[in-house]
Structure 1
Amino acid sequence: MKDSVARSLKEGSELRLKMAETMSAEIATAATAIAKAFKAGRKLLLFGNGGSAADAQHIAAEFMNRFLIERPPLPAIALTTDTSVLTSIANDYAFDEIFSKQVKALGKKGDVALGITTSGSSPNVLKALRAAKKLGMTTIALTGEGGKAASLADIALQIPSRSTPRIQEAHIAVGHILCELTDTILFKDVGKR
């Protein structure tokens, strides 16, 4: 049992080191795009399924409330939280429409759409990224190595792994880094770390 724990922790650590070598520029680009949108009075829409839905909510909460410093709230909305909207769209249309219809209703040119999909293949995430692009939103895909999401997005944050648990762990780490960098860009003279 102890060996299994050590192996999982080591895999996660090795993946983070690989990400530091291969993804730092893309993560910084994504944070800059998010900060630019917030500075222009635009918003961030986040979406994903299952654990990725929870990540969308977690990241949105960090922006909306605070992360490491005291600062004004930032307009980040997880499209995964309104059960009435989600179930009515899924029931009346299709499950693959649950995010794209919300993007069409809430998204505007200059906003940012952040689609989270471990596989890179979630049909509803892909459809929402396409809808966001049509509206002139900046699109970010937070994904693993596979699927089509990365090729649909303006900014692809592809975790270099095919292990679902390790990808999910890395996704929330990237989310925290996006929050930290965005805070630094927008509020570098506010508060202390």
Structure 2
Amino acid sequence: MSVAATMQLALRDAFLRRDSPGHALARDSTRVAEACQAMADRFRRGGKLIAFGNGGAGADAAHIAVEFMHPVTVGKRALPALALSNDAATMTAIGVREGLAETFAHQLAHWAAPHDIALGISRDGRCANVLRALRTAADRGLLTVALLGDVPPPPQEESPRIDADHVLLARSTDPAVVKEIHVTAYHLLWELAHLFLEHPAAQQPADDTQPLAQPHTQPWPVAAEQRPPACGDTCTTCADQATPATVVQLLDGGLALADTGTGTGTEEISVALVDAAVGDTVLVHAGEAIAVITKGTDHGRR
């Protein structure tokens, strides 16, 4: 076999290993949206984001902190965030005196506030100091979010207890793929947390007995031929700025026609990530409905 053919097979295998975990994250869109809602609420109440992890996950924590503190997107507000592993002096001092398992929990216990957010990252979900910090954060009333990998525990070892309000799982046993899914996940956390901050009406569902977004059986991404067509400058829902719109007709393939109330008629959007019915008002970002803001009288009738 030629070198070119060998490389082609290797590349195909590399992409295939990423395909299933990527689609799995998309199917967890409801969990991602719920975590972002909760984070936006904490930021609105004056909370800060505290991220932590070991090794490469520690680098991810630093990446997360700078994304929130210094957004690369012009016009997005800076949100208070920091990474616990950035302070090498504090980390090593705690490790020597209190033990490595206390490196993050010790810091959280001394200055984190109840309205803050604790975001722990672990490739296999068994990092003792990450789990200890999540438990400490939960005990103190912080919102807890965990980015974990799907690496099974060694034989004869039980899976550890995860104390987190929101667990986002990279469904892969490949460390490189787990890392990549985590990067995508925390970019989503940043983007959607901003959207919920910009649209407070989307924070609470109209019916408190129902979650904001229900799981949808349509896998995502939807095939290219089913996506909304490219739009011109007149398309309101295609913009990067989230826009409320009312669903007027459900279409096949996870699509719908929606009215933005601007007098330009209806626009085709995707409703693959939400449980939308005719009459519902949805929040649309780049052609994708990401949340149901208010429910219409036809909700639940298809």
Query: How far, CA to CA, are the matches of 2:103 and 2:8 in structure 1?
Result: 42
Q: Which residue of 2 aligns with 1:112?
A: 117
CA 148–28 in structure 1, closer or farther in 2 if over 3 Å, else same: farther
Q: Which residue of 2 aligns with 1:162?
A: 173
Q: Which residue of 1 aligns with 2:190?
A: 179
Q: Map Cα deviations across residues 107-165 of structure 1 (whole Å, 9 max, x no partner).
A: 1112110100010000000110011011111111110125436x311111112222211
Question: Structure 1 residue runs of 4+, over 2 Å off?
Answer: 145-149
**Rg larger in 1 or in 2?**
2
Q: Which residue of 2 aligns with 1:12?
A: 18
Deviation of 1:18 after TM superposition, in Å, equals 2.0
Deviation of 1:68 after TM superposition, in Å, equals 2.9
CA 20–192 in structure 1, closer or farther in 2 if over 3 Å, else same: closer
Q: 1:121 aligns with which of 117, 122, 126?
A: 126
Deviation of 1:182 after TM superposition, in Å, equals 1.0
Deviation of 1:4 after TM superposition, in Å, equals 1.8
Q: Which residue of 2 aligns with 1:36?
A: 41
Query: How far, CA to CA, are the matches of 1:154 and 1:192 in structure 2?
Result: 29
Q: Give the letter aligned to residue 21 of structure 2.
A: L
Deviation of 1:69 after TM superposition, in Å, equals 4.1
Contact 2:25 2:169 (8 Å CA) reproduced: no
Contact 1:69 1:192 (8 Å CA) reproduced: no
Deviation of 1:67 after TM superposition, in Å, equals 4.2
Whose strand fraction is larger, Structure 1's or Structure 2's? 2
Q: Give the letter aligned to residue 60 of structure 2.
A: D
Q: TM-score, normalised by structure 1?
A: 0.91
Q: Give the letter aligned to residue 9 of structure 1.
A: F
Q: How many pairs does the alignment contain?
A: 190
CA 159–27 in structure 1, closer or farther in 2 if over 3 Å, else same: same
Query: How far, CA to CA, are the matches of 1:74 and 1:47 in structure 2?
Result: 17
Matched, 1:55 2:60: yes
Query: How far, CA to CA, are the matches of 1:58 and 1:30 in structure 2?
Result: 19
Query: How far, CA to CA, are the matches of 1:65 and 1:174 in structure 2?
Result: 18
Give ranges in structure 1 of 5+ residues lacking alignment.
none
CA 28–148 in structure 1, closer or farther in 2 if over 3 Å, else same: farther
Q: Which residue of 2 aligns with 1:148?
A: 160
Q: Which residue of 2 aligns with 1:77?
A: 82
Give ranges in structure 2 of 5+ residues lacking alignment.
1-6, 153-158, 200-238, 242-302
Q: TM-score, normalised by structure 2?
A: 0.59
Q: Map Cα deviations across residues 75-110 of structure 1 (whole Å, 9 max, x no partner).
A: 111111001101111111211111001111221112
Deviation of 1:51 after TM superposition, in Å, equals 1.0
Give the aligned CA root-mean-square deviation in angstroms.
Answer: 1.9
Q: Give the letter aligned to residue 167 of structure 1.
A: V
Contact 2:95 2:103 (8 Å CA) reproduced: yes
Query: How far, CA to CA, are the matches of 1:30 and 1:148 in structure 2?
Result: 22
Aligned to 2:85, the other structure's residue is in SS state coil
Q: Give the letter aligned to residue 148 of structure 1.
A: P
Aligned to 2:86, the other structure's residue is in SS state coil
